[in-house]
């Protein structure tokens, strides 16, 4: 059964069965900043991706959603707060270098797409990477299979700052908040 992870305001997390909405597990959320639930290894069970500062280092970590055991941890240049995407066999995350491609099974860095301006987040949208910068740029790019320069499908410069949740996509529409 698929799990749905919820973090409660009181500092506890709850895992619930997505089909029945029955509680599976509850515990303290100390040190756990869940960003996403993604099936990184293709086994049908999602892993928890958590951005955190670990031993003074900014990091992204993958945890087994059933056991909460650490699968991998990788250091980054800035805290990752939101927005990652699985596409073309890579886990794409925002970093100071731009869009960074990680091996989803090990967390090892494989490639990067340079992006001017600090990134808010990245999402998969129609087989491409959709991202926004804090300085108001929204773009949709088609990443090459091995990283490097990306083919820009479209981009818009709004001049307005965006939040870390931006952009969002639903029903073929893109929203930048």
Average of per-residue pLDDT values in the chain: 75
Check pLDDT > 50 for residue 1: no
CA–CA distances in Å: residue 56 to residues 62, 76, 93, 97 = 18, 12, 20, 20
64-75, pLDDT tens digit by residue?
Answer: 877 778 899 888
- Measure the CA–CA gap between 76 and 95, rounded to whole angstroms: 7
Model confidence, pTM: 0.75
Closest CA to 2 of 56, 54, 38, 49: 38
Asked if residue 46 lies in contact with residue 52, where contact means CB atoms within 8 angstroms, the answer is no
- Measure the CA–CA gap between 1 and 32, rounded to whole angstroms: 22
Instruction: Taking residues 7-23, report their average pLDDT.
Output: 68
122-145, pLDDT tens digit by residue?
Answer: 888 888 888 888 778 888 888 776
Asked if residue 157 lies in contact with residue 137, where contact means CB atoms within 8 angstroms, the answer is yes
pLDDT of residue 108: 93
Structure tokens at 168: 């969002």
pLDDT of residue 103: 94
Asked if residue 143 lies in contact with residue 101, where contact means CB atoms within 8 angstroms, the answer is yes
CA–CA distances in Å: residue 24 to residues 1, 13, 27, 65, 155 = 10, 11, 11, 11, 43
Please tell me the number of Cα atoms within 13 Å of 69 on its side-chain side. Answer: 3
pLDDT band at 7 (very low <50, low <70, confident <90, very high): low
42-85, pLDDT tens digit by residue?
Answer: 888 778 887 765 455 577 888 887 777 889 988 876 666 567 88
pLDDT band at 104 (very low <50, low <70, confident <90, very high): very high
Check pLDDT > 70 for residue 155: yes
Check pLDDT > 50 for residue 147: yes
């Amino acid at each position: 059964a698929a799990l749905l992870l919820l973090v409660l305001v009181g500092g506890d997390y709850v895992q619930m069965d997505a089909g029945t909405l029955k509680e599976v597990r509850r515990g303290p959320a100390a040190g756990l900043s869940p960003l996403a639930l993604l099936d990184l290894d293709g086994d049908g069970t999602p892993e928890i991706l958590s951005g955190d500062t670990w031993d003074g280092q900014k990091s992204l970590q993958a945890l087994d959603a059933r056991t909460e055991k650490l699968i991998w941890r990788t250091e980054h240049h800035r805290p990752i707060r939101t927005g990652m995407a699985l596409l073309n066999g890579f886990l794409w995350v925002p970093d100071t270098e731009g869009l960074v491609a990680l091996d989803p099974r090990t967390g090892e860095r494989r490639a990067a797409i340079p992006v001017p301006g600090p990134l808010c987040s990245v999402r998969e949208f129609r087989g491409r990477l959709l991202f926004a910068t804090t300085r108001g740029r929204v773009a949709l790019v088609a990443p090459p299979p091995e990283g490097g320069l990306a083919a820009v499908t479209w981009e818009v410069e709004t001049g307005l700052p965006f939040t870390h949740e931006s952009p969002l996509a639903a029903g073929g529409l893109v929203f930048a908040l």
